[in-house]
């Protein structure tokens, strides 16, 4: 039985005292047993958390009372917590683009999943995946361009180098839950692009609304929690993750001599020190012990 609610949410809204909101959220989530990550900034809130039905309702109602009444808010379900820890972060941006844009002032045209499904079948539309390279490799839409970015902060440079001649073209962008496209479409409009569109609610919304047999989505959607990947219906997929670095594991990765469960994989082995690997081994052994005690 899937008794844990996974809530993904964001809203761009002026937060006068973000540190106060951070503290209040920390206290509430700890009291309710909620795990996951929430990012608070002057420009709003963003994050994904997991908890009981009652706990998530308490959090949702608290945010509504704080004036977050236009949240992009989606729920899915899992048999257990999808996070190991609670993190309430205070940052300059709720999603880091590194260039000043304000989605409350101007943003691309929203397309609901069914509208998006029809729109991206137009051969004159340029479809751009705004996510990172490893997310693209886990799954994407047919015909989508991979900007090959390691972080969202690299996206403006990609636009200047590769899309500057497409300002009169129809640009359709998508991301996991929609928040990156709030900023990426705002940025393109700021740069003089004429027709900019994005998938309302992101890939998660598309997977929830469009049946698998009709879908233009290929693969799974990478998510930043223990589910790793989700499929149509936002059901838990089969993608595995290296819990040393958080990178998804692809064919052959687990057969590499550089792979050690919970410690390292071919994508991070050279980047971590022996001391870090030792710490990861300790964490993995504690995790295995907890799982054994549950059984």
The tokens of 23 are what? 């503290």
CA 21, CA 10: separation in Å to the nearest integer? 14
Q: Which residue among 29, 175, 221, 268 is the active-site one?
A: 175
Structure tokens at 292: 């054994």
Q: Is 181 a catalytic residue?
A: no
pLDDT for residue 292: 64
Q: Where are the beta strands (DSSP E) in 192-268?
A: 195-199, 217-219, 221-222, 229-230, 240-241, 248-249
pLDDT at 244: 86
12: DSSP letter: E
Tell me how crowded residue 157 is: count the other CB atoms within 10 A of its CB: 13
Instruction: Please write down the long-range contacts of 80-83, taking CB distance under 8 Å and 24 or more positions apart.
Output: 80/4, 81/4, 81/35, 81/50, 81/51, 81/226, 82/4, 82/6, 82/35, 82/36, 82/48, 82/50, 82/225, 82/226, 82/227, 83/35, 83/36, 83/37, 83/48, 83/49, 83/50, 83/225, 83/226
- Can you give the residue ranges of every domain in the chain? 4-90, 109-219, 248-294
pLDDT value at residue 295? 58
- Per the CB < 8 A criterion, the answer to whether 182 and 103 are in contact is yes
User: Shortest CA distance to 103 belongs to which of 190, 40, 192?
Assistant: 190
In tens digits, the chain (295 residues) has pLDDT values of 568 999 999 999 999 999 999 999 999 999 999 999 999 999 999 999 999 999 999 999 999 999 999 999 999 999 999 999 999 999 999 999 999 999 999 999 999 999 999 999 999 999 999 999 999 999 999 999 999 999 999 999 999 999 999 999 999 999 999 999 999 999 999 999 999 999 999 999 999 999 999 999 999 999 988 888 999 998 888 888 888 888 888 878 888 999 999 899 999 999 999 999 899 898 888 876 676 666 5
Closest CA to 276 of 242, 241, 245, 240: 245
pTM of the predicted structure, to 2 decimals: 0.86
Rg (CA), the chain: 20
Closest CA to 68 of 22, 112, 9: 9
CATH class of 109-219: alpha beta
Distance, CA of 204 to CA of 181 (rounded, Å):
13
DSSP-derived letter for residue 236 is B
Helices (H), the chain: 18-32, 53-65, 113-119, 133-138, 155-158, 179-190, 202-209, 274-294
**Top-level class of domain 4-90:** alpha beta
Same fold across 4-90 and 109-219 = no
Instruction: Give the orientation angle of helix 18-32 with respect to helix 53-65, to 10 degrees.
Output: 160
At residue 291, the pLDDT reads: 65
């Amino acid at each position: 039985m899937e008794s844990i609610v996974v809530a993904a949410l964001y809203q761009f809204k002026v937060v006068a005292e973000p540190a106060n909101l951070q503290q209040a959220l920390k206290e509430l989530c700890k009291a309710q047993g909620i795990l996951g990550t929430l990012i608070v900034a002057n420009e709003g809130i963003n994050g994904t958390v997991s908890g009981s039905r009652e706990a998530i309702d308490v959090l949702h109602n608290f945010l509504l009372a704080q004036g977050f009444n236009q949240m992009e808010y989606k729920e899915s379900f899992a048999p257990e917590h999808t996070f190991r820890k609670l993190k309430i972060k205070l940052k300059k941006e709720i999603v880091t683009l590194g260039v000043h844009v304000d989605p409350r002032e101007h943003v691309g045209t929203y397309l609901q999943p069914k509208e998006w499904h029809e729109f991206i079948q137009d051969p004159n539309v340029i479809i751009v995946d705004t996510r990172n390279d490893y997310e693209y490799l886990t799954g994407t839409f047919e015909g989508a361009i991979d900007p090959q970015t390691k972080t969202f902060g690299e996206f403006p440079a990609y636009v200047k180098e590769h899309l500057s001649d497409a300002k009169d073209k129809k640009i359709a962008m998508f991301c996991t839950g929609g928040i990156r496209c709030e900023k990426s479409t705002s940025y393109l409009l700021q740069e003089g692009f004429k027709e900019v569109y994005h998938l309302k609610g992101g890939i998660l919304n598309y997977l929830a609304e469009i049946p698998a047999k009709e879908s233009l989505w290929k693969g799974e959607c990478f998510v930043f929690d223990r589910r790793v990947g989700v499929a149509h219906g936002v059901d838990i997929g089969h993608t595995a993750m290296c819990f040393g670095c958080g990178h998804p594991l692809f064919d052959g990765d687990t057969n590499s001599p550089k792979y050690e469960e919970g410690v390292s994989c071919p994508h991070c082995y050279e980047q971590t020190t022996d001391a870090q690997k030792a710490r990861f081994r300790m964490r993995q052994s504690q995790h295995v012990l907890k799982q054994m005690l549950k059984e």
